[in-house]
Amino acid sequence: MKMRLSAGAALLLAFPLTSLGAGDWTQFRGPSGNGISPEIGTPTRLDPARSIAWKVALPGRGLSSPIVVAERLFLTCASGPRQDRLHLFCFSTRDGKRLWERQFWATGRTMTQSKTCVAAPSPATDGRRIFALFSSNDLFCVDLDGNLLWLRGLTRDYPNASNSLGMASSLLVVGDTVIAQIENDSDSFAAGLDAATGVNRWRIERPKSANWVTPVLVGELGAGRPIVALQSSKGVQLVEASNGRVAGSYDATAATIPSSCAGGGVVYVPCNGITALRAAGEGQAVQKLWEAKTLRPQTASPMLIGNRLFVATGAGMLICADARTGEKVWQLRLKGPFSASPVAATNHAYLINEKGFLQVVDINPEAKEGRLVGELTLEPTILSTPAIAGGALYIRNDSTLWKIAGG
Amino acid sequence: MNEFCRIAVVVFFTTFFFSSAGRATVAESIAAIRAVGPEGKGNAEAARGWQELARADAAVLPELFRAMDGANELAANWLRSAVETIVDRSLASGGQLPLDALHDILRDTGRNPRARRFAYELIARVQPGIANGIIPRMTDDPSLELRYDAVQRLIEEGGRLAAEAKADEATRVYRRALDSAREIKQIQQIKGAMDKLGVTVDLPRHFGFLMQWRLIGPFDNTGRKGFDMVLPPEQAIDLAAEYPGKTGPVRWAPFTSEHEYGLINFNLPYGPLKEVTGYAYAEFQSDAARPAELRLGCKNAWKLWANGRLLFSRDEYHRGMEIDQYRFPVELKAGKNSILIKVCQSEQTETWTKEWEFQLRVCDARGTAILSADRPPSTIAKGTPK
């Protein structure tokens, strides 16, 4: 196991880097990428008669999460016998009205394993533009009104950049760079694209190994030099968002499905359970702070709230750990299995299992342990991570998008 | 010239100028979009062109559809998005779509198949009942999406007839459906229904799978190094030659697939080996020079050559396999065409890494089988669909 950080590296750990609305849900697992929303007033006591504010039918499959900007929800689907029809929707969060839809023809391979699908990566936004990536490596950028700004066909550009099981890594937008991890067994790379034109700012080789994790923003390396963590089966690389320069790395066998989260300059990596890494200080190496083998995320990514780290295990256990030490604080048996990652707001965590059973857990830090306070049955199969915005949750499966509010 | 005439002349020339300028702008915008290339090349110019087009009146739609003919896939998506934007705005403001022109595009089977399907969907959006009058005529349409809907109706009709114990009529309908079907799931559905009616379907022939091959191996692939190694079969095809293999001398030997989806399974002649490479060679007799596609399914690392030219290579192991997983346009020569594939097996030991196999078919761009002139009678047996 090797750890290194380039000389001269100094993480200033500044957040956030964008000026989006506090109530927006801008990417996979929310604005911080840690699964949390600053929202208050999200529903806690759920009731089938009152909690489903609206639902709309979807024309195609999707594992991607919704994102929300200024009361507009954006969502992707894929339809057709070969899933080669790619959909990008905009709905009003108020009433679920479809404001616009754009469809595109897939230009890359659409083969996936049956549990996943072509609309697996979640879209992302900088508040002005929507960036939508699909498993076919087709990437589209539109404005909030659906006007096309640019597009890319990354499998056309790099014909061996695909995974026959399907791609699922979501995009990360940092400043004016859109970061994509197009990692697979063959032509494996990460790229930073100019958010204005879609042209490559940088492209770096990555381990030749299938990988479905999403990059996370760690902090800043010096003034205005944001750093992102790229996780893979070979460990973690810290990369400058604007130019792709590798600023440090940690070599180990990390997970390839659940993604890291980051806060306070520490990256919490699904690796030997969870491994906490700090990349801080002028010329300092990447430092392993702790490793907790009992924190074992399987598909769902961990969630970070202040000094508390939450892990939903494959067996259906929600574990709360001290993010400073990795020590378990409490655990609560829930009904799994979970593919969707946990999300939280207002001191409540929301976990939805694959059968469509939503569970609300009171995670008030003053309490000694978590407490199940709400339940709601939707429809199977739900593999997608919910979004939180405007005091509501948004959940989707292959056929329906729900708004959960009130209660 | 009185005042009225002066105004009329100004109005005429103003209208002429702006309409001329509008047409030029449309043409230039389309040209900018059609010029988009790899790695985002031309995106900025295309975006400016797109903004011009998106502001245009619905009357420009036929021109945008025509521009999809011969456009690369990226440009087609730019144009499609411009059409959607114009249509949304036009319909939201109570405008009309140029339906006659859209019908013309739909009828013209020489146009971009995806664009024709798109035209149909726009027509159906404003004339929701139109499908019954259009879709049943589309069983042999170049647009596979239109054809899919037409075939689905035949499958449903066959099911109704079978349920009414009208076996002969159901068989005729299913036969029509099978002749037209190009989507794998529909073909499998029809095959299942015909099996129940006691009717044999020659799937390898329907798909055009190559069943007769010559195999040679095993060669070494320890450490996955065999993938890049140029072994003798890649240098010349000599079916009488003997080469050093991984465990001893190896020679070409005939292999005939008995699998209904044309699997060529190296494990059958060589056993369940690991870290090995095998080659398969076939000769395809074409009646004439013609364009075709080689379509491959393979979950091992592979390289594929046609008439000595490397078409593609891929070093992905055991992530999945399906019919038509990879498609390669080729130009068949009249007479003999050689096809060589290299298939590498990894060191992995999991149960899902046992397969060392591929399936390959020859067809046209729509997926219609092209059969070798010397194709022997069917040799199919039961097999697991892939």
Q: Kindly report the number of other CB atoms within 10 A of residue A94's CB atom.
A: 13
Is there a contact between A148 and B78 if contact means CB atoms under 8 Å apart?
yes
- The pLDDT of residue A284: 60
Is there a contact between A81 and B148 if contact means CB atoms under 8 Å apart?
yes
> A with B: how many residue pairs have Cβ under 8 Å apart?
102
Smallest CA–CA distance, residue A312 to chain B, in Å, is: 27
Percent of chain A with pLDDT over 70: 93
CB contact, 8 Å: A156 with chain B? yes
Is B374 contained in some domain? no
CA distance A199 to A176: 12
Residues B225 and B183 in one domain: no
Overall number of domains in chain A: 1
CA distance B371 to B359: 15
CA distance A91 to A394: 11
Is B249 contained in some domain? yes
Q: Which of A90, A114, A144, A151 to mutate to test the interface with B (most CBs of B within 10 A)?
A: A151
Work out the average pLDDT over B64-69: 98
Is B20 contained in some domain? yes
Range of B174's domain? Answer: 144-201
pLDDT at B7 over 50: no
Q: In this predicted model, what pLDDT tens digit does every residue of A1-31 receive, in sequence order?
A: 444 444 434 444 433 334 455 689 999 999 9
Residues B270 and B305 in one domain: yes
- With contact defined as beta carbons under 8 Å apart, do A4 and A335 qualify? no
Overall number of domains in chain B: 3
Please give the span between the terminal C-alpha atoms of chain A, in angstroms, as a whole number: 49
Among the candidates B126, B153, B179, a domain finishes at B126
Smallest CA–CA distance, residue B218 to chain A, in Å, is: 23
Among the candidates B201, B217, B245, a domain finishes at B201
Q: Determine which of A76-80, A313-317, B79-83, B202-206 has the lowest per-residue pLDDT on average.
A: A313-317
- The pLDDT of residue A314: 85
Is B372 contained in some domain? no
Residues B305 and B245 in one domain: yes
Residues B317 and B269 in one domain: yes
Pull the structure tokens for residue B202: 């020659």
Is there a contact between B315 and A185 if contact means CB atoms under 8 Å apart?
yes
Q: What does each C-alpha distance from B288 to A168, A328, B328, B331, B370 come to in angstroms?
A: 44, 72, 19, 10, 11
Query: Which is nearest to B241 in space by CA: B253, B230, B227?
Result: B253
Q: Which of A79, A104, A162 to mutate to test the interface with B (most CBs of B within 10 A)?
A: A104
CB contact, 8 Å: A102 with chain B? yes
Is B131 contained in some domain? no
Phi, psi of A160 (to 5 degrees): -100, 10
Residues B223 and B316 in one domain: yes
What is the H or E stretch that residue B105 is in? helix B99-107
C-alpha torsion angle, residues A103, A104, A106, A111 (rounded to 10): -10
Residues B308 and B359 in one domain: yes
Chain B residues closer than 8 Å to A83 by CB = none
Is B170 contained in some domain? yes
Is B386 contained in some domain? no
Residues B233 and B288 in one domain: yes
Give B 13-72 residues with CB within 8 A of chain A: 38-41, 43-44, 46-47, 50-51, 54
Residues B12 and B117 in one domain: yes
- The pLDDT of residue A191: 98
Using DSSP, state whether B309 is helix, strand or coil: strand
pLDDT at B313 over 90: yes
Is B134 contained in some domain? no
Percent of chain B with pLDDT over 90: 91
- The pLDDT of residue A224: 82
Question: Per-residue confidence at A223, pLDDT binned at 50, 70, 90?
Answer: confident
What is the H or E stretch that residue B53 is in? helix B43-54
Range of A351's domain? Answer: 3-404
Residues B266 and B291 in one domain: yes
- What's the CATH code of the domain at A293? 2.130.10.10
- The pLDDT of residue A22: 61
Residue A138 Ramachandran class (φ > 0 left, ψ -120 to 50 alpha, else beta)? beta
Is there a contact between A198 and B38 if contact means CB atoms under 8 Å apart?
no
CB contact, 8 Å: A233 with chain B? no
Position with higher pLDDT, B379 vs B78: B78
Share the mean pLDDT of chain B.
93
A2: burial class by Cβ within 10 Å (0-12, 13-18, 19+)?
A: exposed
ipTM: 0.94
Pull the structure tokens for residue B343: 């298939």
- What's the CATH code of the domain at B235? 2.60.120.380
Residues B191 and B298 in one domain: no
Chain A residues closer than 8 Å to B74 by CB = 107, 151-153, 156
Question: Per-residue confidence at B23, pLDDT binned at 50, 70, 90?
Answer: very low
Q: In this predicted model, what pLDDT tens digit does every residue of A160-171 receive, in sequence order?
A: 999 999 999 999
- The pLDDT of residue B385: 42
Sequence-ordered alpha helix ranges (H) in B197-316: 203-207, 232-235, 267-270
Query: Which is nearest to A215 in space by CA: A294, A321, A301?
Result: A301
Q: In this predicted model, what pLDDT tens digit does every residue of B113-143 receive, in sequence order?
A: 999 999 999 999 999 999 999 999 999 999 9
CB contact, 8 Å: B84 with chain A? yes
CB contact, 8 Å: A113 with chain B? yes
Q: Which of B29, B34, B36, B39 to mutate to test the interface with A (most CBs of A within 10 A)?
A: B39
Is there a contact between A156 and B73 if contact means CB atoms under 8 Å apart?
yes
Query: Which is nearest to A79 in space by CA: A96, A101, A97?
Result: A101
